[in-house]
Amino acid sequence: MLNRSLPELLFIRTCITSLRSIPPLSTLYTLSRFTILPSNLRLPIALEVYLFSEALFFTVVYIPRKLILQKPAQHPPPSPRSGRQALFEKCIDETPDVGAYLSGWFHGAAVKTIKRENVREFLSWAFLNRPRGGGAEEFAELEEYICLLENRLGGGFEKGYDREVKCVRPTVDEVVMEYRSLLWYFIVYIVDLATFIRFRLHSFSHFAPGAWLRILPPRPHTTFSSLSPTRHISYWQRPHNHPTKLPIVFLHGIGIGLHPYISFLHDLADLDPTVGILVLELMPMSFRLSHTPLSRSAFTEEFTAILTQHDIQNLVLISHSYGTVLSTWLLHSEHLSPRISSLVLIDPVAILLHHPSVAYNFVHRAPSTANEWQLQYFASRDPDVAHSVSRHFFWAENILWKEELTGRKVGVVISGSDLIADAPECWRYLTGRDAPKSESGNVVWTGETGDLTVIWCEGVDHAQVFDTQARRRVVVALAEFLGDE
């Protein structure tokens, strides 16, 4: 992740402007080439072929696919009313400032401007999994929730509905995406190939479902990979031979595949060559055109198949960012949760997911700094990432509560300057203390039982913990400590 300096801002804005210019320029040149452009002004044939390809890809692939990806989300069926009420009350109990909470879900609007029916619309989406409330029972249920909010706020909402006051509802709102050029996908391919080679050099074996042409950019270098036992998930594996330590499983976040994690995973591998490591590849989150993201049940089924394939009974689970959502699914699984002996969560977006920070910062925030521009253009507006987050991300099944961490050793690494998650609030929730105000370095907190360790990385942004060896050493040491059976 970039920092907030002016040179980095100028750099990232230049890159984004250049990439954004490709579709209009290629389309304009293609139209001109076959209509009014004199022959003496034509570009070299190789460049013409490239521009024709971009124009064709933009009009034939991107635009139709963008329309297809706008289809409404298939929300999971709502839980029983008792479960919904318990969830709502828990969310409110774990929200110190209900006014800021509500304002955040309404794009920063002042609470006094949010009318009663606007609140009902938001609560219907959040807890009933539908854009608007249903019958009389649902109306009465939402009325109870509104009254609870009014009690916490110390005042009532004005009656009516204001169309100008919009709430954040990612699975209902438009899927906002931007075109990715063939040039960009070629860059992704080169990075993927380099990542593949580096893993091979560190004695990892690759497993793939086959059909590498179904992904763009395609992965011909996986032709001779071993066959994955799953239909969708490819992964890297190093055999486990240690008599006492547990194998490690890593789930990555949104980004250009595993490239940002290579040095971290190799540092982890170098600790002990006999400890097995399993690294999953999540194509819909890796800046590619690929399959629809797996549902919770489908992912846990394929994850179980991978563990069975390699005879992994118990494991240390390490996840980063979006990977912490997948970790939550595994922790909620009756047959997989007992097999997770230790857990490391890095930049966890699943904790306090009922707060508006993750949804707003990732999808709706207007960028102003280099890191915010990088996040918006390259991550949140990637077509497959945008579709995954806006149509297949359901907060109620992705949220992770503190009490769900009990029964195992857990380490949580919080980046103090995280531009996605609310780092101070996450620290307060886990430790019961205010966020550290350290000038530099890390702050370590350990719970009374010793099972929960929380590390605050001062001045570090989202994913920057993997950028330098000094920062990675903190996570590697934590994983090593938690890896003893």
pLDDT digits (tens, 9 = 90+) for 282-340: 999 999 999 999 999 999 999 999 999 999 999 999 999 999 999 999 999 999 999 99
Contacts of 94 (CB under 8 A, 6+ apart): 352, 354, 401, 429
The predicted pLDDT at position 6 comes to: 94
Predicted local confidence at residue 484, as pLDDT: 66
* Digit-coded pLDDT (tens) for 444-471: 999 888 899 999 999 999 999 999 999 9
Q: What percent of the chain has pLDDT over 70?
A: 99
For the segment 391-400, the average pLDDT, to the nearest whole number, is 96
When comparing pLDDT for 439 and 287, which is higher?
A: 287
Q: pTM (2 decimals)?
A: 0.94
Domain boundary assignment for the chain: 6-68, 81-153, 182-482
Task: Please state the rounded mean pLDDT for residues 223-243.
Answer: 94
The architecture CATH gives domain 182-482: 3-Layer(aba) Sandwich (3.40)
Q: Report whether pLDDT(485) > 70.
A: no
The reported pLDDT for the residue numbered 440 is 63
Average pLDDT for 184-199: 97
Q: Once rounded to an integer, what is the mean pLDDT over residues 19-47?
A: 90
Most confident of 39-53, 67-81, 339-353, 470-484: 339-353
Q: What is the mean pLDDT of residues 335-353?
A: 96
The residue with greater pLDDT, 78 or 301, is: 301
Mean pLDDT, all residues of the chain? 93
The percentage of residues in the chain with a pLDDT greater than 90, rounded to a whole number, is 84
Per-residue pLDDT band at 7 (split at 50, 70, 90): very high
Mean pLDDT over 270-280 rounds to: 94
